[in-house]
Amino acid sequence: MENNSEKYSVRSFLGQLKSGIIEQNPTLVQVLGMCPTLATTTSLTNAIGMGLATTVVLAFSNLFISLLRKFIPKQVRIAAFIVIISGFVTAVEMLMKAYFTDLYQSLGVFISLIVVNCIILARAEAFASNNKPLPSIVDGLSMGLGFTCALCLLGTVREILGAGTVAGISIFGESFQPAQMFIMPAGAFITLGCLIALVQKLRTVSAEKQKAKELAAEEAADASEGGNDQ
Amino acid sequence: MTNDSELLVLSSSPHVKHKNNTRRIMLDVIIAMLPALVWSVVMFGWRPILLTAVSVLSCISFEYGYQRLMKKPTTVNDLSAVVTGILLAFNVPSTAAWWLMPIGAFFAIVIVKQLFGGIGKNIVNPAIAARIFLFVSWPSQLTGFNEPITDAVSSATALGALKEGIIPEGLTVLDMFLGLCSGCIGEISALMLIIGGVYLLVRRVITWHIPVSFLVTVAVLAVIFPQAGGNLEYMAYALFSGGLMLGAIFMATDYTTSPVTYKGRLLFGFGCGLLTVMIRYFGAYPEGTSFAIMIMNLLV
């Protein structure tokens, strides 16, 4: 996995960003970290708060795990990762308590639970522990942003349907009667299921298009080759 | 229930299939539901007809629209969407806003039925799931029962009173049996629902196992643990109130979501009855029939 020889370029940066947000989106493609996804997306504000808090923890823990990757013994690496992650979670929690008290109160216990978010441990284990610091921090950021995007999408849909508001601002007026189920747990599962189904559909469609394109290109190449032979 | 064009169908018994089977069965179910619908018109005026029409039309258009959109063979002709539509309308009070029906129909047909693969592949009864969705989302809309036109009866629902441990005032067991009470469109008259149920039994659309074991379980539990009044009196109220008859006869017997074997059906009915009583006694809501059936659906 470790490629010290290759230089880190803008191109690989963009590639990582695209992979984290779209191709390997932690929530919608890898289906990791379901607990905060389902529990905290009752509104857009909560979703952004949760997403960004996780992103910060993810980026910093990836960076430090990558820096320490040669010093952490293989046998106790999980415990070491958790110690690093929980350090950053505690810091984020205290900062949120100090500067974003409302958000801190509405997210409640789920901020502390970032420690056990499996996206973070997965990236630590799969990426940061055998890559250089710079790609690791970018990986943390892009995965975190992918998580945030998915949460925002889910939070927006649920808030519009379940409360008739976006980030607390009413959009349909007084007479609108929202479907309360969407801000309940059942609504979270249904919305997430539909979103994942939609994303998978889009992925298969684009994969098929890609394949068709390649096939067409191959055929064109074959045809032109054939033409040359004659 | 299965597509005839499929070459090999792997399924549990029964294996006998017929082209017009589903259509004929669904037609029978529709006929069996008519007495209850007529009774609701007698009790509540024309609004039940309006709601039922909106519900049925929405169900048909969502089914047709989805299948066209996904380029699947259309199965609107099998009438199953019509049955879902009528059942959905039966589960709302006559005062419910009309726009609830298209939303419920969308939930029933697109999310519960078609996204899981269409008729015969849904894991829970579409009408039940949509009822619960509407009930949880707009509780005030789904519990705003009005006074029936013909006879002024108590304003609180019988189940609400029973839950608080009192026998509903001014409501006799006979009133409840005949349907001279408030409630959802299709659930008020136990008599009309039983007439429909007997028709379905005679036409061999359903077997007696699920409704009987469902109702007997509720009855036995009610006799042993009455919440109000005398044992037998309470049992009668428990049997004829809420959506129990509608659920036991028309919803729990849905082919796709109930067991195939007779023993399984008895057990299914027992589970439904037990859960209904449990939710009525200990749950947050006065009525538990729909939740009970959906939970048992998931176990099939």
A184 contacts B111? CB cut-off 8 A: no
pLDDT tens-digit map of B107-156:
999 888 888 888 888 888 899 999 888 888 888 777 766 555 444 444 45
Which member of B111, B138, B139 has the closest CB to residue A190? B111
Question: Is the CB of residue B274 less than 8 Å from the CB of residue B221?
Answer: yes
Looking at residue B69, what is its pLDDT? 87
The predicted model scores a pTM of 0.80
Looking at residue B217, what is its pLDDT? 92
Q: Is the pLDDT of residue B271 over 50?
A: yes
Confidence of residue B275 (pLDDT cuts 50, 70, 90): very high
Give this complex's ipTM. Answer: 0.74
B136 contacts A180? CB cut-off 8 A: yes
Looking at residue A55, what is its pLDDT? 92
pLDDT tens-digit map of B72-112:
888 788 888 899 999 999 888 888 888 889 999 999 998 88
Strand partners, A169: A166
> CA geometry: angle at A194 spanning A191 and A200, to 5°?
140
> CA geometry: angle at A67 spanning A61 and A70, to 5°?
120
Domain ranges within chain B, ordered by starting residue: 21-140, 152-299
B111 contacts A194? CB cut-off 8 A: yes
Q: Is the pLDDT of residue B176 over 90?
A: no
A190 contacts B137? CB cut-off 8 A: no
Tell me the pLDDT of chain B averaged across its residues.
82
Looking at residue B71, what is its pLDDT? 83
Looking at residue B147, what is its pLDDT? 55
Positions of chain A with pLDDT lower than 50, given as ranges: 1-5, 229-230
Q: How far is A36 from chain B (nearest CA, A)?
A: 23
Q: Is the pLDDT of residue B9 over 80?
A: no
Rounded CA-CA distance B10/A19 in Å is 40
Mean pLDDT computed over B253-275: 89
Task: Give the three-state DSSP class for B184.
Answer: strand
Looking at residue B18, what is its pLDDT? 55
- CA distances B35 to B44, B101, B193, Å, are 14, 21, 7
Looking at residue B151, what is its pLDDT? 43
Looking at residue B140, what is its pLDDT? 77
pLDDT tens-digit map of B215-229:
999 999 988 888 777
pLDDT tens-digit map of B28-46:
899 999 988 888 888 888 8
Q: How far is B170 from chain A (nearest CA, A)?
A: 34
Strand partners, B184: B93
For chain A, list residues whose CB is within 8 angstroms of any CB belonging to chain B: 177-182, 184, 186, 190, 194, 197
Least confident among A211-215, B169-173, B180-184: B169-173
Rounded CA-CA distance A177/A163 in Å is 8
Rounded CA-CA distance B19/B203 in Å is 18
A179 contacts B141? CB cut-off 8 A: no
Mean pLDDT computed over B258-262: 88
Confidence of residue B239 (pLDDT cuts 50, 70, 90): confident
A177 contacts B138? CB cut-off 8 A: yes
Residues of chain A in contact with residue B138, where contact means CB-CB under 8 angstroms, are: 177, 179-180
